[in-house]
């Protein structure tokens, strides 16, 4: 009985989180706005040197996406922690790791997916080659869920603290750096006309590892934060 209802619980939680996000549309746009602002400010800061902008465009977009993802992490568990529904999620008979996965998926759909959709536009704006834009979206598709999954572990550890902000960035940044390196490296390689399959496979394996390995520490960290 527990196994058969697992999918139902997963989708019920996913639906609830998406509905809550929809009712809080203004908060929904915060990370997206941050992302767009940072990227649009760069040309103003560096001057309109097309060559330079083209060269640093993947880096700008990825760093901005990474910071936007990090800023939005707090919303994964914060409100559930404050209104007591996190306790109820942990106390129900279903495995917490599955519930965590549903919450992270909802969070990615709310914050990561919009970034991925708007990124091609910003890439055009920075003068990136059109062939490279597809690759940029692929790296974002493989990379941003990893940011959410790893961030969930850190936020689960710090959700009980009053001011966990700095601790949070110290915890997640070391794990975010490899994603950033391989994603931007893929695009740079493609710029010089080199094959990028290796980088994409590595990003893909990061994603698979994150999906399979992070829900357990997140669940354990949530239990720790609540007790």
Partner 1 sequence: MKYLEVRNLSCVRDDRSLFKALDFDLASGQLLLIEGDNGSGKTSLLRILCGIRLPEQGRVSWHTGAEQLKAEVAVHSNESYAGDMVFLGHLDGNKLDLTVAENLEFSRSLALGNDCSIAQALERVGLKHFEDLQVSNLSAGQRRRLALARVLMSGASLWILDEPFTALDQQGIEMVEQIISGHLQQGGLVIMTSHHRVSFDRTMIISINLSQ
Give yes or no for residue 227 binding partner 1 (CB under 8 A): yes
Helix (H) or strand (E) holding 15: helix 6-23
Cβ contacts of 198 within 8 Å, gap of 6 or more: none
* Cβ burial, residue 63 (10 Å; 0-12/13-18/19+): middle
Considering the complex, state which of residue 12 and residue 117 has its C-beta at the smaller distance from partner 1: 12
Among the residue ranges 51-59, 83-91, 142-150, 179-187, the one whose residues contact partner 1 (CB under 8 A): 83-91
Shortest Å distance, C-beta 32 to partner 1: 20
3-state secondary structure of 92: coil
Binding residues for partner 1, how many (CB under 8 A)?
A: 27
| 85 contributes a contact to partner 1 by CB under 8 A | yes
Binding-site member from 37, 40, 46, 83 for partner 1 (CB under 8 A): 83
Q: Which stretch binds partner 1 (CB under 8 A): 1-9, 62-70, 137-145, 190-198?
A: 1-9
What's the rounded Cα separation, in Å, for the pair 162 and 176?
A: 24
Contacts 24+ apart (CB under 8 A), 92-98: 92/9, 93/2, 94/2, 94/5, 94/6, 94/9, 95/6, 95/219, 96/219, 96/222, 96/223, 97/215, 97/216, 97/218, 97/219, 98/6, 98/9, 98/10, 98/215
CB of 19 to partner 1, least distance (A): 7
The residue from 32, 76, 91, 179 that contacts partner 1 (CB under 8 A) is 91
Reduced to 3 states (helix: H, G, I; strand: E, B; else coil), residue 95 is coil
Is residue 89 within 8 A of residue 77, CB to CB? The reply is no
57, two tokens: 């465009």
Cβ distance to partner 1 smaller for residue 40 or 92 = 92
Q: How far is the CB of 226 from partner 1 (least distance, A)?
A: 5
Whether the Cβ atoms of residue 46 and residue 53 lie closer than 8 Å to each other: yes
Question: Could you say which residues in the range 2-21 bind partner 1, by CB under 8 A?
Answer: 2, 5, 8-9, 12-13, 16, 19-20
Binding mask 15-54 for partner 1 (x = CB under 8 A): -x--xx--xx------------------------------
Chain residues that interact with partner 1, rule: CB under 8 A:
1-2, 5, 8-9, 12-13, 16, 19-20, 23-24, 82-85, 87-94, 223, 226-227
């Amino acid at each position: 009985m527990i196994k058969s209802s697992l999918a139902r619980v997963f989708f019920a939680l996913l639906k609830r989180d998406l509905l809550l996000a929809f009712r809080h549309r203004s908060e929904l746009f915060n990370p997206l706005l941050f992302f767009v602002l940072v990227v649009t400010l760069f040309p103003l800061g560096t001057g309109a040197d097309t060559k330079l902008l083209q060269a640093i465009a993947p880096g700008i977009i990825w760093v901005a996406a990474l910071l936007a993802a990090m800023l939005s992490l707090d919303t994964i568990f914060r409100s559930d922690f404050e209104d007591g529904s996190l306790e109820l999620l942990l106390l129900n008979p279903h495995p917490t790791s599955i519930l965590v996965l549903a919450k992270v998926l909802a969070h990615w759909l709310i914050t990561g997916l919009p970034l991925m959709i708007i990124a091609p536009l910003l890439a055009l704006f920075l003068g990136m080659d059109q062939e490279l834009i597809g690759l940029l979206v692929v790296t974002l598709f493989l990379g941003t869920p990893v940011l959410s999954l790893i961030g969930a572990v850190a936020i689960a550890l710090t959700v009980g603290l009053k001011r966990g902000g700095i601790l949070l960035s110290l915890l997640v940044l070391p794990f975010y750096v490899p994603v950033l390196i391989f994603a931007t490296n893929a695009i740079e390689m493609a710029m010089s006309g080199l094959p990028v399959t290796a980088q994409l496979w590595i990003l893909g394996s990061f994603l698979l590892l994150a999906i399979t390995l992070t829900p357990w520490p997140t669940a354990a960290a949530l239990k720790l934060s609540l007790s």
